[in-house]
Amino acid sequence: MKIELISVLALLFCLLIIGIEYIMHYRLAELQDEHTARIENIRHRLDVHVEGVLYAPTDSSRESEINALTDEINGDYEVYEMAVSTIRTHKGTSYHDDIEAQDLLIKQIDEKVDPVSIYAKMLDEGNVYHKGYACRRLAEMNAMEYRDKIKECIDTKNRDLAYNAAMALCHMGDLYEVAEYLLSIQDDHMYSGRIVNEFFAQFTGDRRELAELLFEKCNKYMKCTIIKTLEKYPIDAFRPMYIEGASGNDTQLKIACVKALGAFGYPEDEQILQMAAQDNDWVIRSSAVRGLSRLKSPTALATVKHALGDKEWWVRQTAAQAITKMDIMPSDLEEILGGYDRFAADAVKNVLYKTVDTE
Amino acid sequence: MGFLNAVRSFIVVFNYFCMAFTLLLSVIYIIQLFVSFFRVHRDYSKSFSDDFHSYVDSDNLLPISLIIPAYNEQENIVQNIRSLMKINYPMYEIIVVNDGSTDKTGELVVNAFHMHKIETSIRYQIPTQKIEAVYYSKKYPNLLYVQKANGGKSDALNAGINISRYPLFTCLDADSRVEKDALLRLALEFIKDSRTVVAGGIVRIANGSKIVDGELKGFSMPKKLIERFQIVEYYRSFLMGRVFWSSTNSLLIVSGAFGLFRKQTVIDVGGYKRNTIGEDMEIVVRIHRYMRKNHKKYRVKFNELSVCWTQGPMSLNDIRSQRRRWQIGLMDTLISHFGMTLNPRYGFVGLLSIPYNWIFELFGALVETIGYFLIPFTLLMGELNMFFFVIYFLLSVALGVILSQGSLVLEQYTHRAAMTAKQSIAVSVYAILENFGYRQLITIFRVEGIIKYRKLHKTWGKIKRKEFEQ
């Protein structure tokens, strides 16, 4: 009897849970319906107001439409962002191409709505994810007066918030805070690589200063990562360091420096790249071949041609890709395609099929 | 008399075993549901500050090769390629591998995309059947069509890996549609954690949903009951099971319809296993095995916001064939990697995930089916109290409903459903109805898979599907 009683109680308990789940489900579904309907309504009204602004016959009617748009936003960040998006994507006459007119309208709305205060409130009162979002938005709006508040967020234990705050300061070009943040994560190799890449891409300050500051204190892994990242932003002042690294024995540093040197495309670096093209490590050889292809000298071309027959597939592929971008004579191509080196011929054929119209 | 008594005792003991087994499984499922709820809640909150669109321009984003193994896919293949060409991802290539189709799959692709035959060098890092021809189009430079001798889905995927250029690849079913941002979301798993070697997305049933260019545009309830049940079933399987197992880094399966892999890792483990129909599970288990054996840090992730739509089977025969294949695939994988079972060397995977799959996913179906026949028999013999039988049956149904309904709540919570409140509640009715017939049928199909394992474990399965609504 006891087990049967327990079973009945368990069944009743299950039914209670099912009931709660159904209520939750229905409520959530209703909320979603309401949300969808609300968004649709707002979108429609925003469209009407934007059109009103565009086609307003007089300045006063235009002003009243802008006021209506402002009232619609009413301190809600979601509506504000929708309004900006509506203005940017509105297709009316030639307006959708006129970035200046769009900027002007957004500026007028900003003056009335003060979006900075909306995001500042979010930064003060929101949860960690809202705070993170607010940091990014405030940085995009150049709200420098909130820099100190954003800095406070970097010290939080929540990794997402710290990242968003640091990214915001990156937008604001805050050299020391960004450097400190990057140094604080340098031992986490799973994380720091991509962060360095992202931060250098977004940094609005002087990249050279940031790199110098980091080079002073960072470990080898971070140094290599920064050098690889700087391949996209060649800075002459670092060339001597790259030359030293490319001539050294540390493989990781050598790879980074050869890549960075290759990106300059300076003829005076050819000798170092030629030496790197003979290295035992295939990544170094491949990076050197790519760098040499930018030089376009006869000796560089000869090395790239030689690399077409490299024992490593990736080097051959890199060489084949590179050679089609160099000033190569048709006779040279014929020689490769009809030559004894099957690997070289295959690699070039592969690239040519995709770059030359063979139809 | 002695023999009869022994049979009687056995039946009674087995009945209790069945009940204890079902209850234990339900408790495990409920734990999974709770963990999944917290995980989904965290990920959903996190997505607020996660400006994933900004990664489109990021140099960190790795290019992807989309491999589509196709065998007699003339109905959907061209449409699928066109839809893939519109995905929101900066650098990708599409490789269609025709595994010796006997229909017009190849002809349709070549003509639709103005492709021409090219000679190309192929790096055979994984052995495959002979690649007969490679086609390329200047007009669609990120599309490659590969014609090869029939060798099975795994062989087609391995050929695609060999010919691919990029460090990540995804295998996509020819009859599936990927949402516009799905790949971007999955690729972010590789950026955010460089240990990630595999990331799987959620697969949803497209029957009834209107999907245009990778965007869900609307939902209407599918006509057939069997399709409606599958909608609930998929929510449960993905939102509950996979979210839970990935949170412990012991997810054993990334759907064959949609998963993103680090190419080098797959090459290191020898590519997809040939002559198996559960290649999607087998490759993930082999990756776990290889990484743990070699003490490499790795992660197998699941992203519930990354969505792929697939057409679910529309007839009982097709669903029977599908579930049979799934069970055979599971069995094949578990047998192939038997050494991992309860082996502490493989951590959580060996100690929990694989034993769970053996006990509950494989033999569970067997126990359940025997129970279906034995319990009424015991009832007839007078060995089982009718009241207790009814209570037990209702309890198992109620537990099933809690799980299915819980998954629907999760789905609604993430605001992903394109259903209205009414439709959503209508779907939830099927969370109850599936317990009366559908669930039992599916279990029997799974047992059939176990029984026919030796006969069927090397065949390509084929299910009749309708075209996507455009």
Amino acid in position B115: M
Mean pLDDT (whole number) for B251-279: 89
Who among A15, A28, A193 is closest to B413 (CB)?
A: A28
Tell me if chain A has a CB within 8 Å of the CB of B121: yes
Q: Give the pLDDT confidence of B446-466 residue by residue, as tens digits.
A: 999 999 887 766 565 554 555
| Closest CA of chain A from B48, distance in Å | 6
Give the minimum alpha-carbon distance from B317 to chain A in angstroms, rounded to a whole number.
32
B228 CB-near residues (< 8 Å, 6+ apart): B221, B222, B427, B430
Please state which of the ranges A26-30, B113-117, B214-218, B406-410 shows the lowest mean pLDDT.
B214-218
Helix (H, G, I), strand (E, B) or coil at A97: helix
**What are the pLDDT digits (tens) for A54-96?**
788 888 888 888 888 888 888 889 899 998 888 888 776 666 6
Q: Supply the pLDDT for residue B191.
A: 87
Domain residue extents for chain B: 52-316
Residue A343 above 70 pLDDT? Answer: no
- What percent of chain B is predicted at pLDDT more than 90? 32
- Where does the pLDDT of residue A358 fall: very low under 50, low under 70, confident under 90, or very high at 90 and above? very low
Nearest CB to B120: which of A28, A343, A353?
A: A353
Confirm or reject contact between B413 and chain A (CB < 8 A).
yes
Nearest by CB to residue B399, choosing from A14, A343, A354, is: A14
Q: Is B264 on the interface with A (CB under 8 A)?
A: no
What is the model's pLDDT at position B68? 92
Residue of higher predicted confidence among A189 and B244: B244
Radius of gyration of chain B (CA): 23
User: B157 touching A, CB under 8 A?
Assistant: no
- List the single residue in B with minimal CA-CA distance to A350: B120
Q: Between A99-113 and A59-73, two packed helices, what is the crossing angle to 10 degrees?
A: 60
Mean of the per-residue pLDDT values of chain B: 86
Contact assignment for B191 to A30 by CB distance below 8 Å: no
Confidence of residue B112 (pLDDT cuts 50, 70, 90): very high
pLDDT digits (tens, 9 = 90+) for A278-316: 999 999 999 999 999 888 788 998 898 888 888 887 888
Distance from CA of B196 to the nearest CA of A (A): 10
Whether the pLDDT of residue B242 is over 80: the answer is yes
Using an 8 Å CB-CB cutoff, list chain B residues near A164.
Answer: 49
Closest residue to B60, CB basis, from A18, A161, A194: A194
Q: Which residues pair with B301 in a beta bridge?
A: B199
Domains present along chain A, CATH in parentheses: 235-359 (1.25.10.10)
- Place A359 in a pLDDT band, splitting at 50, 70 and 90: very low
Chain A residues close to B421, C-beta within 8 Å:
26, 29-30, 32-33
What's the alpha-carbon Rg for chain A, to the nearest Å? 30
What's A15-60 look like in SS3?
HHHHHHHHHHHHHHHHHHHHHHHHHHHHHHHHHHHHHHHHCCCCHH
Q: Do A11 and B428 touch (CB under 8 A)?
A: no
Q: Which of B51, B53, B110, B121 best tests the A interface by mutation, with the highest count of A CBs <10 A?
A: B121
Task: Please indicate whether, in this complex, the C-beta atoms of B388 and A7 are within 8 angstroms of each other.
Answer: yes
State whether B398 and A15 contact (CB < 8 Å). Answer: yes
At A272, the pLDDT band (50, 70, 90 cuts) reads: very high
Residues of B in contact with A26 (CB under 8 A): 421, 424-425
Instruction: Give the Cα separation of B353 and B342 in Å (integer).
Output: 9
Q: Does the beta-carbon distance from A194 to B191 stay under 8 Å?
A: yes
Lowest mean pLDDT among A151-165, B16-30, B297-311: B16-30
> Own/partner pairs for B439-443, CB < 8 Å, 24+ apart?
B439/B400, B440/B372, B441/B316, B442/B319, B442/B323, B443/B365, B443/B368, B443/B369, B443/B372
**B139 and chain A in contact, CB less than 8 A:** no
pLDDT tens digits for range A111-149: 888 899 999 999 998 889 999 999 999 999 999 999 999
Which candidate from B60, B136, B193 shows the least CB-CB separation from A198? B60
Condensed to tens digits (0 to 9), the pLDDT of residues A4-61 reads 788 888 889 999 999 999 999 888 888 888 888 898 999 999 888 888 887 888 888 8
Residue by residue, DSSP assigns B248-302 as: TT------TTEEEEEHHHHHHTTSSPSS-S-HHHHHHHHHHHHHHHTT---EEEE
> What per-residue confidence (pLDDT) applies to B265?
95
CB contact under 8 A, B388 and A160: no
**Average pLDDT, rounded, for chain A:** 86
Do the chains contact at B191 and A354, CB–CB below 8 Å? no
Interface test with A, best of B412, B414, B415, B419 (most A CBs within 10 A): B412
Rounded percentage of chain B residues whose pLDDT exceeds 70: 95
| A215-253 tens-digit pLDDT | 999 999 999 999 999 988 889 999 999 999 998 889 999
* Tally of CB atoms within 10 A around A89: 10
User: Shortest CA distance to B60 belongs to which of B198, B141, B168?
Assistant: B168
Rounded to a whole number of angstroms, the distance from the CA of B61 to the nearest CA of chain A is 9
Class of domain B52-316: alpha beta
> What's the pLDDT at B346?
93
From the list A3, A193, A343, which residue is nearest B194 (CB)? A193
8 Å CB contact between B205 and B175: no
CA distance B240 to chain A (A): 15
Question: Looking at residue A298, what is its pLDDT?
Answer: 87
By the CB < 8 Å criterion, does B344 face chain A?
no
Residue B98: predicted pLDDT: 93
Does the beta carbon of B11 lie under 8 angstroms from any beta carbon of chain A?
A: no
Question: Taking CB atoms and an 8 Å limit, are A190 and B193 in contact across chains?
Answer: yes
Closest residue in B to A132 (Cα–Cα): B49
Of all residues in chain B, the one with the smallest CA distance to A320 is: B121
Q: What is the DSSP letter of A187?
A: T
User: Are A33 and B421 inside 8 Å of each other by CB?
Assistant: yes
Band (B470; pLDDT cuts 50, 70, 90) = very low
Show residues of chain A in contact with B406, CB under 8 Å: 21
**8 Å CB contact of A194 and B45:** no
> How far is the alpha carbon of B297 from chain A, nearest alpha carbon, in Å?
10
Q: How confident is the model at residue B200 (pLDDT cuts 50, 70, 90)?
A: very high
Q: What is the pTM of this model?
A: 0.85
In chain B, which residues have their Cβ closer than 8 Å to the Cβ of A231?
Answer: none
Does the beta-carbon distance from B405 to A133 stay under 8 Å?
Answer: no
Residue of A nearest to B191 (CA): A194
Position A341 pLDDT exceeds 60: yes
Question: pLDDT tier at B18 (50, 70, 90 boundaries)?
Answer: confident
Which chain B residues contact residue A128 at CB under 8 A?
49
> Which among B195, B405, B420 is the nearest to A33, CB-wise?
B420
Cβ neighbours for B301, distance < 8 A, ≥ 6 positions apart:
B189, B193, B196, B198, B199, B200, B246, B251
Distance from CA of B2 to the nearest CA of A (A): 29
| pLDDT of A93 | 62
Q: Do A127 and B51 touch (CB under 8 A)?
A: no
CB atoms within 10 A of CB B178: 26
- CB of B60 within 8 Å of any CB in chain A? yes
Distance CA B199, CA A298 (A): 46
Q: Tell me, what's the pLDDT at B155?
A: 92
Q: How far apart, in whole angstroms, are the C-alpha atoms of residue A358 and residue B136?
A: 10
pLDDT tens-digit readout, B412-442: 887 665 678 888 888 889 988 998 889 889 9
Interchain contact, A14 vs B51, CB within 8 Å: no
Does the complex come out with an ipTM higher than 0.85? no
% helix, strand, coil for chain A, step of 5: 80, 0, 20
Name the minimum distance, in Å, from the CA of A126 to any CA of chain B. 12
Q: What is the pLDDT of residue A354?
A: 60
Contact list in B for residue A198 (CB cut-off 8 A) is 58, 60
pLDDT of residue A195 exceeding 80: yes
What span, in angstroms and rounded, lies between the C-alpha atoms of B415 and B419? 10
pLDDT given at position B143? 92
Instruction: Please tell me the predicted confidence (pLDDT) of residue B383.
Output: 74
Reduce the DSSP state of residue B221 to 3 states and report it. coil
C-alpha B213/C-alpha A124 separation (Å) is: 40
User: Which of A2, A5, A6, A21 to mutate: most B Cβ within 10 Å?
Assistant: A21
pLDDT(B199) > 90: yes
pLDDT for residue A1: 61
Instruction: With beta carbons under 8 A apart, name residues in chain B contacting A18.
Output: 398, 401-402, 405
Of B49, B114, B297, the CB nearest to A132: B49
pLDDT at A350: 66
Set of chain B residues whose Cβ sits within 8 Å of the Cβ of A191:
193-194
Interval B332-382: pLDDT, tens: 999 999 999 999 999 999 999 999 999 999 988 888 888 888 877 787 777
